[in-house]
């Protein structure tokens, strides 16, 4: 069980609001949304009438007596955990942190479903609406750690200082796409990837426009799908185009159109 007494409640209220909005928006990648109860608690936290610890304890107590609200529970528990991670200034770029974020996001939920902080031990497929029911080919479960470690090692060798702005965006899109394609966890890969990438970008000194993760989380996920899908008989090749659009808006304040329908095959 998590402890919450180290979450900084002195953060500017506008930043608190931003972090809660990101946490809520990211639930849409799995078709979820937080409960009205948590939204009210978050408002009270932003206003300063409740501490984060009080919010976390209140939502935990609520679900001890409302076990039937499974979809709301997942969205609420994960949202409060995302807030705690975003509000924490610490970060270390390594595989331990990546796995640790997954554990922190899902450790209070059903371990038989989410296996928090553990790599999957089976191969998986997922039917994607934008692929007309087809699936991305995810990494073989026997190669998960080696694949991720390779991606992390390669990223650590990148010299962003010498890159042009467009090269930086392209490289960030590539790294994000690669670690997502590995899909190391049974569930919660997109939310874990999004939180990790946001923390990583902030550690590099980027200013992140969190409204993108708040309002366009499903676009983000679908862009990751298209960045990793090939179907040569249909003339479809994996493309970072849509993911690059997202990161240009996220990091460069561009106003590229984020049209989800354009990604459908």
Q: Quick check: 166 pLDDT over 50? A: yes
For 118-128, write each residue's pLDDT tens digit: 999 999 999 99
Q: Which residue has the higher pLDDT, 67 or 235?
A: 235
> CB–CB of 140/122 below 8 Å?
no
For 89-109, write each residue's pLDDT tens digit: 999 999 999 999 999 999 999
Mean pLDDT of 226-234: 96
- Strand ranges inside the chain, DSSP E: none
Give pTM, 2 decimals. 0.95
Mean pLDDT of 62-88: 88
Q: Quick check: 241 pLDDT over 60? A: yes
Angle, helix 217-226 to helix 189-203, in steps of 10 degrees? 100
Q: Using 50, 70 and 90 to split pLDDT, how confident is the model at 65?
A: confident
Percent of the chain at pLDDT exceeding 90: 93
Q: What is the pLDDT of residue 66?
A: 75
Mean pLDDT of the chain: 94
Q: What is the pLDDT of residue 6?
A: 75
Q: What is the pLDDT of residue 68?
A: 59
> CB–CB of 240/170 below 8 Å?
yes
3-state secondary structure at position 214: helix
Q: What is the pLDDT of residue 67?
A: 65
Q: What is the pLDDT of residue 156?
A: 97
Which residue is it, tokens 């994607």?
128
Q: Tell me the chain's radius of gyration from C-alpha atoms.
A: 18
Task: Report the C-alpha gap between 148 and 98 in whole angstroms.
Answer: 10
Structure tokens at 249: 């808006």
For 178-226, write each residue's pLDDT tens digit: 999 999 999 999 999 999 999 999 999 999 999 999 999 999 999 999 9
Structure tokens at 111: 């371990």
For 25-45, write each residue's pLDDT tens digit: 999 999 999 999 999 999 999
Q: Quick check: 3 pLDDT over 60? A: no
CA dihedral 153, 156, 158, 161 (to 10 degrees): 180
Q: What are the percentages of helix, strand and coil residues in the chain, rounded to 5?
A: 65, 0, 35
Task: Report the C-alpha gap between 201 and 208 in whole angstroms.
Answer: 7
Q: Which residues are within 8 A (CB) of 149 and not within 5 positions of it... i.e. 6 or more apart?
A: 95
Task: Report the C-alpha gap between 143 and 163 in whole angstroms.
Answer: 31
Q: Which domains does the chain have, with CATH numbers?
A: 1-90 (no CATH), 119-265 (1.10.3290.10)
């Amino acid at each position: 069980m998590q402890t919450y007494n180290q979450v900084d409640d002195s953060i500017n209220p506008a930043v608190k609001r931003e972090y809660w909005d990101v946490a809520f928006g990211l639930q849409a990648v799995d078709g979820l949304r937080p409960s009205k109860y948590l939204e009210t608690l978050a408002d009270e936290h932003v206003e300063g009438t409740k501490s984060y610890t009080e919010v976390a304890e209140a939502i935990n107590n609520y679900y001890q007596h409302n076990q039937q609200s499974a979809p709301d529970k997942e969205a609420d528990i994960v949202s409060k955990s995302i807030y705690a991670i975003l509000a924490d200034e610490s970060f270390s770029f390594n595989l331990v942190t990546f796995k640790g974020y997954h554990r922190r996001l899902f450790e209070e939920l059903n371990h038989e479903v989410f296996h928090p902080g553990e790599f999957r031990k089976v191969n998986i497929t997922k039917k994607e609406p934008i692929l007309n029911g087809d699936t991305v080919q995810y990494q073989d479960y026997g190669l998960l750690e080696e694949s991720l470690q390779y991606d992390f090692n390669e990223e650590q060798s990148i010299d962003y200082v010498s890159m042009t702005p467009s090269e930086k965006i392209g490289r960030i899109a590539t790294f994000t796409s690669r670690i997502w394609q590995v899909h190391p966890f049974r569930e919660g890969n997109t939310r874990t990837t999004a939180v990790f990438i946001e923390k990583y970008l902030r550690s590099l000194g980027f200013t992140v426009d969190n409204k993108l993760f708040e309002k366009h989380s499903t676009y983000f996920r679908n862009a990751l799908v298209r960045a990793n899908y090939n179907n040569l008989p249909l003339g479809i090749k994996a493309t970072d185009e849509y993911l690059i659009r997202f990161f240009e808006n996220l990091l460069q304040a561009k106003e590229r159109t984020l049209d989800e329908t354009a990604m459908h095959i």
